Structure 1
Amino acid sequence: RADVDGYRRYVRAARPAVEMILGAAAEPPTLASLTRLAVRRRFAGTSTLLRWSRRSAGDVLRSFFSTDAVMGPAAVTGPMVWGISPEHAGSGLGALTHAIRHVARVGRPVGGSGRLPEAILAAFVAAGGALSTDSPVGTILCEGDGVRGVRLIDGTEHVAPIVVSACNPHDTFLRWLRDPPAVAADLIRRWRAVPHADGYESKIDAVLDSVPRLRGDDRPLGPTTVIAPPLATIDRGHSLMQRGEILDRPGMLVNVPSLLDPSMAPPGHHVFSLEALFTPYGIRGGWAGSAEPRRWLEAFATLCEPGFLDSIVEWRAMTPDIYERDFRLPAGHATSFAGGPLAAFRPLHPELTRYETAVTGLYLTGAATFPGAGVWGASGRNCATVVLARHG
C-alpha cells in the first residue's frame, strides 16, 4: 500500500518533468528556447528537474518507494543503461524512467529494427542522396577555417562545404580532423582531456522453437521485461565492472519480439533477445572463450518454466569487443549524451548541445549530442535545423 501511494506521488512529481524534457528535445536547447518552453508550461516540471538533477537516482527513488521490486527496474533502465551507479551524485534524472512510460509511446517496426534504416535510406535516396559504405572515413579535410570534405581510407575524396558527423566526438575531433584550423585549438584541447569510456552492454539474440514462460507468471514476453537486481546490488555491480568483473545476476532486458510480430521469425520459431548490463569491455581474462554469455542464458533459465535452454535452436552474443570489431565502436562504447536540457545553460562542450563546431561547416549529431541515445531521431532533426539555419 505504501508503494502504491508513493507511486501516485512519484507520477505527480515526475510526469511534468518528463513532458518538459520531451518538449525540450524537439529543438536545439538554448537559454531562450528553454525559457520559452518553461513559461509556456507555466514552469510545470521545472522544479523537479532542478532538484532531481542534483541528487542521486537512488536517493530520489527511496524518497517515494521502499521495495526493490519498484526501484530496481527504474535503476536498470536509467542509471544502469547509462553505465553508472544509481548512487552516483547527479544521476537523479535517471529516476524518471517509470514516468516516461506514462508520456512516451515506444514500439518496433514491423519486420524488425532493420526496417527503420531501410526506410530512412529509401527517403534519402528519393531526395537525391547517395550512400557510400565501401570504405571508412580516414580524414576530415580542412581549408582555411572550415571543412573541405572527407577523404576515405581507400583514398577517395568527397568535396563538400558541410560535413555532419554522427560518430563519437573523440574519433571526429582527435582521429579524423587532420591539420585543423587554429580556431579548433580549444575544441581539440578539451576533447583530449576527456577520457573515452569503455563499453558495458552486451546482447544475446537467439532462435527458439518454443516460447519461454516465467515461473508463476502468465504474462507474455513480447514487450520488454526488466530483470532487476536490488539497488545495492546494482551499486556493487558498478564497482565490480571497474575491476573487469560481472554480477552473478546482471541486470537484463528480455523480450520475444516475434510474439508481437511473427514476421521476424521462421515458421514455428521465435526470436529471443536478452540485453545484459555492466558487462565490461575490459573483462578479466578477455571475452574470447568467456563463459559469461552462456551464463546469462542459464541465469534467465532459472526464472523460467523448465525447457528454456533446450528450446534454443541457435544463438549469438554481441559483447563489447564485437561491437568494437564489427561496428567500429571504440572500446565497444557508443558515447551518449547524459546531461539533460539543463546542460545547455552552462555547457562544458557546447558542440554537444548546439551541434555546431568551431570549424566552419563541421557539425556533430548522434547519440553523443543532445538529447542522447535512443532511436527517435531528435538529435539528427535538431542538427539539421541548425545546418539549414546557417546554410539555407
Structure 2
Amino acid sequence: MSSKRIVVTGIGATSPLGGNARDTWAALLSGASGATTLEQEWVAKWEIPITFAAQAKVPSSEVLERIETKRLDPSSQFALTAAREAWADAGSPEVVPERFGVDWATGIGGVWTLLDAWDTLRERGPRRVLPMTVPMLMPNGPAAAIEMSLGARAGARTVVSACASSTESIANAYDHLQAGYADIIIAGGSEAAIHPLPIASFAAMQALSKRNDDPATASRPYDVTRDGFVLGEGGAAIVLETEEHALARGARIYAEVVGGAVTSDAYHITAPDPEGSAAARAMIAAVEGFGYSLSDVAHINAHATSTPVGDIAEFKALRHVFGDSLAGIPVSATKASTGHLLGGAGGIEAIFTILALHERTAPPTINLTEQDPEIDMDVVTAPRTLPDGDLVAISNSFGFGGHNAVVAFKTV
C-alpha cells in the first residue's frame, strides 16, 4: 500500500473542444463534437480517403510566441500550451527546481517535423534542412519544452506506448512522487498526427470511421453502427504533488490519485486481446493494489474508441472486473466528442475523470443512438450527477502493442 497521498492541483488542455481545460469540459458537457471536415489542400492532392478529423479548436499560433511555433513541432506546441495552463491553474507554485519533474507522453512524436524535413531534403537538398529538425522531431521534445519553460530539474521523462501513453505517464508520476524523486510533477501527453501519412495508414488498416459526410456523428462508441475512430489532436496536463506539499502551500485540490497500473497483452501488435484479461488486471491493480475496493468505483471513463472489436474487448474486461455490479456504474466514452488523441488521449480523459469527481458530474457519450446489445452496461448519454460521499473513478487507456494503462482518482 502506498505511503503518501498524491493529489491533483492543476489542469490544462488544448483540444478539439476548446483551447483550455474549462472550455473543453464545458463543450463536453454540452454534447459538442470536435470533428470537422479537413479543409487542407493536401486532402485532395493526395486523395486521402478520410476527409475529416478532430482538429485543435484553438491554433497554437494564437497562444504561443512566434519563435515558439517556429522551433517546436505541433506536438510540443500542444504540450507547452497545456502545461503552462496547468501550472498557472495550480497557482504557479514556488518549488525547488530539483524537486519539480515532468512525466510526459506521446504516441508518435514529431511526425510533422520529420515528414516536412524529408520533403525538404527530397525537393531542395540537404542544405535546406533546418538545423532544429532533430530536436523538434524527438518524442521527448514535448517534455523538454515543458521542463525548460517551467524550470523543472527533477527529470523530464517520456513514455511512448501508443494510445496508453499519457495514462502511463500519470501512473509513472504517481510512482515517482511516492519514491520521493520530486514534490511536484507535471504529467500528461500530447499528439499532433493529423497529417496525410498517419491518416492514410490508419485508413489502410480500416481503423478510421468512414463517415466523411457527417464528421460530427462519426465517433459512436458502443453503437451498433460504429465503424472506427476519429483521429484527434491536442494536449493535456495535470499537476500532481504530495498532499503534504499541496497543503503546505494552501493549494486547491481537485482530486486524489488513488494509483495507476500498467500491463501488456502479449497478443497482437494492433488488435486487443479479445477477452481483455490483461486490461482487467490493470483495472484491478490500479484500485485494489492501493488499498481500495472495486466496490468503491462509482464512475468509469472508458477507452472506447468506437471500433467494432476494441469496444467489445474493453466491455469484456470491465465485466470480468466488476461482474454484475457493472450495471450500476455510469460509464462515459468521451472520445465520441474529442476524437482519439492517440498518445494524448489518456491525459484529456484523466482531466475529464478528475472533473467528473470534482463536480460530481459524469460527462455524456454522444452519438449513441442504438447501443450494441453485446455491450450491456450503463452508458451515460446526458450529464449525470454522481452521488455524495467518497467516490473512486478510473480512466482506461489501451494502445497498439498490447499496452494497457489505468489510473484511478478519488474525491477529496
Same fold? TM cut 0.5: no
**Bin for the TM-score computed over the shorter chain:** under 0.3
TM-score by length of 2: 0.25
Compare relative contact order (CA 8 Å, sep 6+) and give the higher one, 1 or 2: 2
Structure showing greater Rg:
1
TM-score by length of 1: 0.26
